[in-house]
Structure 1
Amino acid sequence: MPRASAPRTRASAPTVDVHAHVLLPEIEALVEGRPGLSGARALDARRNGPAALAVSGPMVRERFPRLTDTAVRLAAMDAQGVDVQLVSPSPSHYHYWADEPTAEKVYRLAHEATAAHCAAAPDRLLGLGLVPLQHPRLAVEALDHALAQGLLGVEISSHAPGRELSDPAYEPFWSRAAETGALLFLHPFGCTLDERLDQWYLSNTVGQPTENAVALSHLIFSGVLDRHPGLKVIAAHGGGYLPTHIGRSDHAWSARPDAGAGCAHLPSSYLKRLYFDSLVHDPHVLRELVRVAGADRVLLGSDFPFDMGTEDPVGALRAARLTDSDFHAVRGGNAAALIGKD
């Protein structure tokens, strides 16, 4: 009788990057000329400002091969020491302005194209799809379509026009995500502070962590995580400002009846029900994230291959000087357990 293999330890788990993107030109070709696109582009330009747009365009063009060519991606992963990437569409593909017929075409094409990209190296690339949050009634079927394509879940933004993640219209989506065990990657795109952040790339440096904090607060304070404890939510950018300032949320929950009316427990306790990527750009902040959320709730993330990411995610993790067991858990053990990739 053959001897059973020993279980893989976290130290021997693959290095898994849960925050990596793919660019899908076919989606942009699909939406070109559709009503609403010009307005969305104008809003994006207004929020970012001309200086940021002048830098972002050439940056994306220079990184286009890594965003679209699987062979180039794999070579870059090898150079970084990354074994597996969880690949999500560029958030620029959300297109939350789109009407229902267009939105359905967008998510179906995104799922098929992302699945095809990952299929070129199925042992190393795992994919996520998209959900048109602007049309809550399409959310469940979009999630089901993503899973049917072999994707592990979907990527969502911090809000949709006129809707927060606490909106009751999303309840069927949360229920289905919990039921299926789908991964939900929370990655903001665009900050509603608008022109206040249109200089010095504040739209990203301040806007992204702000949007993360607001979105997670809606999930916590509204009771979404109480009603759906099985949700697997991964927050990009280390969850933004919320984990390091969660004490203020705890104080409000304890001191004010309006703040504590929607959720059953201290806000800080919900951090241990969420997952966070490690992309915080500061080893001291990463140590604090591990402390407040738990070493089992932090996953390696690079934002591959954009300039606001890191070219050396393992090195950035090592700089936090975690214990050996915590280092290997974040490097890949946690993600391997979460996605079943050994």
Structure 2
Amino acid sequence: MTVPTVDVHAHVLLPEVEALVAGLDGLAEARALDARRNGPAALAVSGPMVRKRLPRLTDPAVRLATMDAQGVDVQLVSPSPSHYHYWTDEVTAEKLYRLANEATAAHCATAPDRLRGLGLVPLHHPDLCGPALDHALGQGLLGVEISSHAPGRDLSDPAYEPLWTRAERTGAIVFLHPFGCTLDERLDRWYLSNTVGQPTENAVALSHLIFSGVLDRHPGLKLIAAHGGGYLPTHIGRSDHAWSARSDAGAGCAHPPSSYLGRLYFDSLVHDPHVLRELLRAAGADRVLLGSDFPFDMGTEDPVGALRAARLPEADFDAVRGGNATTLLTEGPTP
């Protein structure tokens, strides 16, 4: 049987979510922070870029036609990270995750054999994360998407233990996709906020999960890291050295950091065939999944071609192209 081609990094834009937060206290401040982090030149390019891609982000028929052109059979669709809104109060945050989960599920329901979905949880209100995950699963979604941190909290924060416990018990997928880099204005030119910021945030978030022992306590957690996990997988030797050389670095996790890469999943979106081959070497060919960042300009219009450029052995190519993801998605969560 031919293995379907599965793209695990694809986004949907939800106008309902933005309508919900429009005019609320805190939105202007959040947008001002985003503007400072990205800089005016980046914002001037990003606005028209998103508008040009609105049909692919909102219209299932256009999405499916583009998938056909790309040779993609199935997408794992997650909300645009711009919908996180980790500044909202508890009442609004609950309304937001419900709206986002329901709208994403409705989008995917137009082609349930080809579109599977992920919802959102409000990381800035840890007590709501468990109910938000339950709601997502109740909508038929496969899990949730999270950022690399929330204001004042990293993913190692004990407040998230109930979320990891619930995600592990249910088999829900957690898709780690950063939005915004805490290096702030240092990255406000040349789109460094994305080109450097995203892989940095991935590396920091994954390091928190590893070094704090979250992955020791929750070995069955199904976590997919966007952007190939950022800088961490290709520079994991430095983490191993610190773990073995320093008592403070090795105090929180039981094993060398590199050993945890095989417990995580990574998308293939690294924009370099040499880096992709190294990612497979570091994490294992069974832990890498095809990802395109559909349909944004920092993604790839030809995810299968980008994978083919790495010249992997045929078995590894097929595993990354869709075999690994098919197994992961078919297993599915248990609400």
Tell me the TM-score range normalised by the shorter chain: over 0.9
Quick check: 1:316 aligned with 2:317? Answer: no
Partner residue in 2 for 1:174: 164
Structure 1: which amino acid aligns with 2:79? Answer: P
Q: Quick check: 1:152 aligned with 2:142?
A: yes
Q: Does 1:221 align with 2:211?
A: yes
Aligned to 1:4: none
Q: Deviations over 1:138-183 (max 9, x none)?
A: 0000000000000000000000000000000000000000000000
- Determine the structure 1 residue equivalent to 2:265: 275
Q: Where does residue 134 of structure 1 map in the other structure?
A: 124
Counterpart-to-counterpart distance in 2, 1:258 and 1:34: 43
**Aligned counterparts of 1:334 and 1:13: Cα–Cα separation in 2:** 10
The offset of 1:288, in angstroms, is 0.1
Deviation (angstroms), 1:298? 0.1
Q: TM-score, normalised by structure 2?
A: 0.98
Structure 2 residue 37 is matched with structure 1 residue 47? yes
- Measured after TM superposition, the shift of residue 22 of structure 1 is 0.1
Tell me, in whole angstroms, the C-alpha distance in 2 between the residues paired with 1:33 and 1:323. Answer: 53
**Matched residues in 1 for 2:163 and 2:327: separation?**
24
* 2:20 alignment counterpart: 30
Q: Shift of residue 185 of structure 1?
A: 0.2
Determine the C-alpha separation between the residues in 1 that align with 2:114 and 2:328. Answer: 15
Match of 1:19 in 2: 9
Query: Can you give the 5+ residue segments of structure 1 that lack an aligned partner in the other structure?
Result: 1-7
How many residues are treated as equivalent by the alignment? Answer: 332
SS in 1 for 2:223: strand
Determine the C-alpha separation between the residues in 1 that align with 2:164 and 2:331: 24
Q: Residue 69 of structure 2 is aligned with which of 51, 55, 79?
A: 79
Instruction: Please state whether the residue corresponding to 2:141 is helix, strand or coil.
Output: coil
Helix, strand or coil for the counterpart of 1:340? helix
Say whether residues 1:209 and 2:230 are aligned partners: no
**How far off its partner does 1:341 sit?**
7.7
Structure 2: distance between partners of 1:28 and 1:140: 23
Following superposition, the deviation at residue 13 of structure 1 comes to 1.1
| Structure-2 residue corresponding to 1:256 | 246
- State the distance in 2 between where 1:169 and 1:111 align: 22
- Structure 1 stretches of 4+ with a deviation exceeding 2 A read none
Tell me which residue corresponds to 2:294.
304
**SS in structure 2 at match of 1:226:** helix
Identity of aligned residues (%): 85
Which residue of structure 2 lines up, in the alignment, with residue 238 of structure 1? 228
Aligned to 1:196, which of 172, 181, 186? 186
Structural RMSD (CA): 0.8
How far did 1:68 drift? 0.1
Map Cα deviations across residues 43-75 of structure 1 (whole Å, 9 max, x no partner): 000000000000000000000000000000000
**C-alpha distance in 1 between matches for 2:26 and 2:120:** 19
* Counterpart Cα distance in 1 of 2:311 and 2:251: 39
Q: What does residue 5 of structure 1 align with?
A: none
